[in-house]
Structure 1
Amino acid sequence: MSGPLLCEGRVVIVTGAGRGLGRAHALAYATEGARVVVNDLGVGLDGTPGPDSPAARVVEEIRAAGGQAVAHGGDIATTEGAASLVRTALETYGRLDTLVNNAGFLRDRMLVNLDEDDWDAVLRVHLKGHFLPLKHAAAHWRAEAKDGRTPRARVVNTSSGAGLLGSVGQGNYSAAKAGIIGLTLVAAAELGRYGVQVNAIAPAARTRMTERTFADTMAAPDADSFDAMAPENVSPLVVWLGASASTGVTGRVFETEGGRITVMEGWRPGPTADKGARWTPSEAGDTALKLLAQAEVPGAVYGAG
């Protein structure tokens, strides 16, 4: 006999949920009993408007399987779009428990060829598109806590290995994804008093955004083999982080790919030296080289050398 559903009764927002990872997350939450607000603007890979509504198709999938879902097509990188996203959850289901920030697209260029518009567009959808839904959801949860109804709220942000190590040809994307990690840490520290836990994932999976990155592993697996790059592999951790079962876990970053989950450990003090007075430039350089010789070698930037 199966046990209780992990997210029974919870209301979950998933942004960028029309395809890829977001769609997998939305379906996984619904399978675990959540009522899901499926957000997707319906744009192309580069952020330009698309011809149909992928959010509505995912809602139909969820409903056909016996779940509950509603579509939201607003632009969550605008104040009104983010506010209406939260309103949709509250007006449709009367509550909000979990926010999964997932929306994004790519405009890859080497730095010397990267236009300002391409920089702004990617920072806007990834970083601002995380900040604004988080801001409006957090305002609701703070009001609930102040009224004596402290929630068991959860936020799952979507970073990337590019945000942890960098990625050649993706200066805009890498900067945005690194910014999401910083935002996650601050939000976890600020919102814990209101019953809100905030974590981030750095997933690797086969989606529209990663077709070129994982070109060598895009071939469909044999029927009996494990498809390590399927986006559905990432969703179980996202569902658990968005459930009450994850109580006590906040301010963390998890890398997840295939059947592997890794707790990522970010910047922390390594080898250090203190003269107790001002260094000369030569002294500072000699000391830096000695410290580097004692330090761990950083991970390689994706696509380098």
Structure 2
Amino acid sequence: MSLLEVFWLDVLLPQVLARLTLKDCFNLRCVSRDFRTLIDLHLHALKVLKILNRRCFPKESFQVLSLCEKIAVLNFSKCNFLSDDLLIPFLSQNKNITSVNLSNCQNITARSIQPLILHCNLRVLKLSRCTWLTPGAIEALSLHQSSLEEIDLSYCSFSSDGCLIILFKKFRNIKILSLEGVPQIGDRCVYAIAKFLSSIKHLNIACCHKVTDIGIGYIADSCWNLESLAVRTCVRVSEKSLAPIRKRKILVDRRPNSQTLPMFLQLSQIQAFIR
């Protein structure tokens, strides 16, 4: 009995091909017409697609992925071969995507995520270090999506923090939020997080140098489901605000210290600005 004589739908597809890498599938697809048909069936039913850290990817090979129409989890992080011309058609035909990671994809634009915003029901969105991300894209996301639970916008930069506050107001069920290195994040944004995302579990605001003890105090007072807080290199955050958080057994990525820094913003000013 040859491999191709084994039941395709009951054995080969779920038990064998599911364990192969994408490279293995492409190699197997080149063996014969029957194997090509088998791999095409596999790609058509594929629900998880991960292509990571690729500078180049033959256009002809990527076109084979047009067979994928049922992707739910997509990870193209650090894929600098991607362009709008490649990505937009692919996303347009995969309307079941719930989790997407396009972090560090430098050669696409905000236009490429329009199909995701308009047609998918996203729960996880990771766009770390996507310098092309615009406030308009964030506002469109807030307008058309409703189910996001995890967002990573680390090291993205915006003209103001207004679009981020709109985001927090809309997605109040966010459990994991990473805003590491976003220069616009300060106490005003942290206050909005505490006010609208009270059920958040994991918050990363490391390298956000505008955040002070006042902002961390908002988190301590409002976010009672918090499990971890990242504030490394937040130079205006001291142990004065972190101590109450540590007492609740929340994981903090900084060792305890006795440093106390002045509070730079008044609570009344920030609250008035949010309203």
TM over 0.5: no
Tell me: higher relative CO, structure 1 or 2? Use CA pairs within 8 A at least 6 residues apart.
1
TM-score, normalised to structure 1, is 0.28
TM-score, normalised to structure 2, is 0.30
Higher strand share: 1
